[in-house]
Amino acid sequence: MKIAALQWDVRRADVAANLAAARDGLSRAREQGVQLLLLPEMWATSFPDAGDDLRAMTRMAQEAALRLSEDSARLDVDWAGSGFAFDAVPAAAARPFNRLELFSRGERHFAYDKLHLFGPMAEDGVFQPGAALPTSVPWRGLRLSGVICYDLRFPEATRAPFHDGAELLLVPAQWPSPRSSQWRALVHGLAASGQCFVLACNRTGREIVARRKLALDFPGNSLVVGPAGETLAEGHGEAGLISAEIDATTAREWRRQVPVEHDLRRDIYGSPSKSSTSRDAPMI
């Protein structure tokens, strides 16, 4: 199957422009035979500024996701990305989650709330952290999971999908240029240690972020990496699709040849628990 990341300069609070970019990318993905399209972290709105109405931004982000899901169902191209989300009716002081969702055939199929919030950019002042490790779900003949951006630095979180049998891991991000070498190393290391494919989408452009009003450049170095840690596709700063063909049997063969899960020292580490999630989704 063919999977792709769509990278572009995500415009802060400009939902119309971001939705237009995502819809155009979805159409081009269909033309190129892509079955799954991953968008950047906070693709519809980017991160908020001080004084932004978080409930209004959440509503706009969810409306954009609904419209994109309608396109997705019509085109038969599944898509995933992260954005604002609340559970049910939020309390007055409640903060939103940064939630990764996968929509398959127009229905939500997977969801995960970002566990680790990036303190230097005051994410912890805007969002509430997730409360569950990422699960994995069956999707089009393989098992799929995901984490979000800063989660890459926490092997405690990224190891959960491996133990749950994930063969494809999604990573939407807004990872800036000064740390781009670390992004690349972490994505490749995740694929090799997890013996899985990783589809990682990073944005392009520049944005003034957080309370300190830092100007950050984003390199658009989206990646598709194979279970041996090999680069299958990589972005180089321009907006557009970054795509590659993958085959789940490759990940399964690596796990057969190098049986990491079987050889785990449970007498030392204990038995890893299967990951769980409070975000129910239909199974395919």
Nearest in space to 96 (alpha carbons), one of 68, 65, 62: 62
Q: What is the mean pLDDT of residues 48-62?
A: 90
Beta-strand (E) ranges in 72-185?
Answer: 78-85, 97-104, 107-113, 137-139, 142-146, 168-173
Q: Tokens 């700063």 label which residue? A: 237
Residue 275 confidence (pLDDT) above 90: no
Residue 274 confidence (pLDDT) above 70: no
What residue spans define the domains of the chain? 2-269
The mean pLDDT of the chain is 93
Q: What is the mean pLDDT of residues 222-239?
A: 97
Residue 70 confidence (pLDDT) above 50: yes
Q: What is the mean pLDDT of residues 147-172?
A: 97
pLDDT of residue 277: 44
SS3 183: helix
Kindly indicate the confidence band of residue 283, based on its pLDDT and cuts at 50, 70 and 90: very low
Rg (CA), the chain: 18
Higher-confidence position of 27 and 272: 27
pLDDT of residue 270: 85
SS3 83: strand
Residue 272 confidence (pLDDT) above 70: yes
What is the distance of C-alpha 79 from the center of its chain?
10
At 217, which amino acid appears? Answer: D
pLDDT of residue 87: 82
* Three-state secondary structure readout of 15-60: HHHHHHHHHHHHHHHHHCCCCEEECCCCCCCCCCCCCCCHHHHHHH
Residue 88 confidence (pLDDT) above 80: no
Contacts of 242 (CB under 8 A, 6+ apart): 4, 5, 6, 7, 201, 222, 223, 224, 233, 234, 235
Residue 207 confidence (pLDDT) above 70: yes
Q: What percent of the chain has pLDDT over 90?
A: 85
Residues 26 and 221: beta-carbon distance below 8 Å = no
Considering only 85-89, 130-134, 148-152, 166-170, which range has the smallest mean pLDDT? 85-89
Instruction: Give the CA distances from residue 269 to residues 132, 189, 275, in Å, rounded to whole numbers and listed in that order.
Output: 20, 21, 16
Kindly indicate the confidence band of residue 93, based on its pLDDT and cuts at 50, 70 and 90: low
Structure tokens at 273: 């628990």
What is the distance of C-alpha 217 from the center of its chain?
20
Residues 50 and 212: beta-carbon distance below 8 Å = no
Kindly indicate the confidence band of residue 92, based on its pLDDT and cuts at 50, 70 and 90: low
Contacts of 175 (CB under 8 A, 6+ apart): 149, 183, 202, 218, 219
At the fourth CATH level, which superfamily is domain 2-269?
Carbon-nitrogen hydrolase (3.60.110.10)
pLDDT of residue 49: 85
pLDDT of residue 211: 61
Question: Phi/psi at 28 (nearest 5 deg)?
Answer: -70, -35
pLDDT of residue 280: 47
